[in-house]
Amino acid sequence: MATKTLNVGMIGYGFMGRAHSNAYKQVGQFFPGDYRVVLKAICARDEAKAKAFAEQWGYESFETDWRKLIARPDIDVIDICTPNNLHKEIAIAAAKAGKMILCEKPLAMNTPEGVEMTEAVEKAGVANMVWYNYRRIPAVTLAKRLIEEGRLGRVFHYRAKFLQDWTIKADLPQGGQGLWRLDVAAAGSGVSGDLLAHCIDTAVWLNGAMSSVCCMTETFVKERMHTLTGKVEAVGIDDACIFMGKFANGSLANFESTRYARGHKAQYTFEINGEDMSISWDLHDLHRLSIYDYKDESKLRGWRSIHVTDNSPDHPYMANWWVPGLAIGYDSSFTHQVADFLMGLETGKPQGPTFRDALETQQILDCILASAKTRQWVDVPKT
């Protein structure tokens, strides 16, 4: 029975605003605990749209200026669901006001911003988390458990891909609602910060720190009309980003991301090859984890696909959902993230990824872009 409340003030009501709101509504039903999440206020610049969103999703109130939201004494946690260029200013103001913060990824536009944000939350002593939600897809969390149990043995390779195809059209504009991802001033970078950031967060979580990287980027469409200025402007983001690298454990990294892979919508995949076991996962089939266990009897050895839907504690998070065999989806990873955040508050043990964890990903992102620019290998600074 919940005895405490957590009042959420969310900024931005786009894709992530909806995904997070859905998670806040689900968490108390599927992961009941000490805290009851209250949808206190939504903040967006357009009053009519903010009001409509509040009514649709059950927020008690709305604001049109995020500074006013942060100043409200009835808000406990600020949830940042805005484009990347606003993360820093909002997070630092929220930390100074003593609010807990849930911030969308990538943490920041670049490492110096991320450092400021991390120092601000740590100085303020406020609970903080970054929405690298793929960690909490049950099959991915199961991969983490297998690794922690030492089943892979020495790891040789980690390869990841995140492929999309929605920006191939050369007459697609950049900037503004929905297209801010193509505008370097709002996004900071292209597919690296948008897509590879997820792959890097998962990789560092599963396989440990990266020590060096060597990267190549490409911007296939060099100029696009800017929605906000009405002028044709240079495109400053990376449309595709491919890098190799080395992890501190000696394994080799091979990463690729693009929005020009015709036919692929959101194909995030990773594969890890260890001496004793290989593991692979595909977002398009997200409840399955494929493994090859070299310790199996030779006559039975082969890739097997585990349907990670058992409701025993062996399959992470699934005991709180349906009966074995019934899948949950992308949206549930956000519910799991909120459930773990609340568990962190209850136990006093902060759950990652914290701002500091996300700073490590930010640093790798900066290193790959520096490598692409200089055409040199870059060592990742130790955190």
Contact residues: ligand NAD, CB under 6 A = 11-17, 43-45, 66, 81-84, 86, 104-105, 131, 133, 177-178, 180, 194
Q: From the CB of 290, what's the least distance to ligand NAD, in Å?
A: 22
Alpha carbons 166 and 261: distance in angstroms, whole number: 9
Q: From the CB of 86, what's the least distance to ligand NAD, in Å?
A: 6
Alpha carbons 216 and 65: distance in angstroms, whole number: 40
Structure tokens at 282: 């595909």
Q: From the CB of 181, what's the least distance to ligand NAD, in Å?
A: 8
Local structure of 121: helix, strand or coil: helix
Measured at the alpha carbon of residue 147, what is the angle toward residues 273 and 138, in degrees to the nearest 5? 105
Give the nearest residue (CB) to ligand NAD: 14
- The tokens 């409701």 sit on which residue? 311
Alpha carbons 62 and 52: distance in angstroms, whole number: 10
Question: DSSP character for 383?
Answer: -
Q: Which is nearer to ligand NAD, 243 or 268 (CB)?
A: 268
Q: Which is nearer to ligand NAD, 191 or 214 (CB)?
A: 191
Q: Which is nearer to ligand NAD, 55 or 296 (CB)?
A: 55
Q: From the CB of 259, what's the least distance to ligand NAD, in Å?
A: 13
Q: From the CB of 108, what's the least distance to ligand NAD, in Å?
A: 10
Does the N-terminal peptide bond of residue 353 adopt cis geometry, omega within 30 degrees of 0? yes
Give the CA count within 13 Å in the CB-facing half-sphere of 274. 24
Q: Which is nearer to ligand NAD, 15 or 303 (CB)?
A: 15
Q: From the CB of 373, what's the least distance to ligand NAD, in Å?
A: 22
Q: Among residues 73, 70, 68, 63, which one has the least CA distance to residue 41?
A: 63
Q: Which is nearer to ligand NAD, 86 or 225 (CB)?
A: 86
Q: Among residues 215, 16, 210, which one has the least CA distance to residue 105?
A: 16
Q: Which is nearer to ligand NAD, 135 or 293 (CB)?
A: 135
